[in-house]
Amino acid sequence: MTSIHDATDGADIRRAIMGGDWVVAAEAGNGDAMDHFTKISIDHVWRNVWPRPGLELSYRSAVTIAALASLEAEGELVAHVRGALRNGLLEPTQIREILLHLIPYIGFPRARHAVEAVNDILAEAAAAEDAS
């Protein structure tokens, strides 16, 4: 697989960020609406937005995490946090601070839901960092 830092195709970026298992599950449709949604997502988001020049992938990842937290999109938030950590785009402390920084902007309840959704992931990643 292409490194996230070398990826130029949206499908490769998507696979690196979201993970292979997530992509396989997302593409397991049978010609239904989700198949069309997946194609639109790849074409518009992953091929046209993520590889654009002018913003490093780490910034794109941070902005995406903040947006998903504000939308309370827990499944996508978890996947993007895992992808940011897996690819070294953000550190656990940075993700925690992004979520805490959101409190005055999105409110305590939404920020709390985001922290709850990813708290265990961040703790595991921080422990792994400390062990290395």
pLDDT, position 54: 95
SS3 of 52-97: CCCCCHHHHHHHHHHHHHHHCCHHHHHHHHHHHHHCCCCCHHHHHH
CA-to-CA distance for 11 and 69, rounded, in angstroms? 24
Tens of pLDDT, residues 84-116: 999 899 999 999 999 999 999 999 999 999 999
Report domain extents, the chain.
1-53, 56-132
The yes/no answer on whether domain 56-132 falls in CATH 1.10.3720.10 is no
| Per-position b or e across 44-55, b if 16+ CB within 10 A of its CB | eebbeebeeeee
pLDDT of residue 3: 66
User: What pLDDT does 116 receive?
Assistant: 96
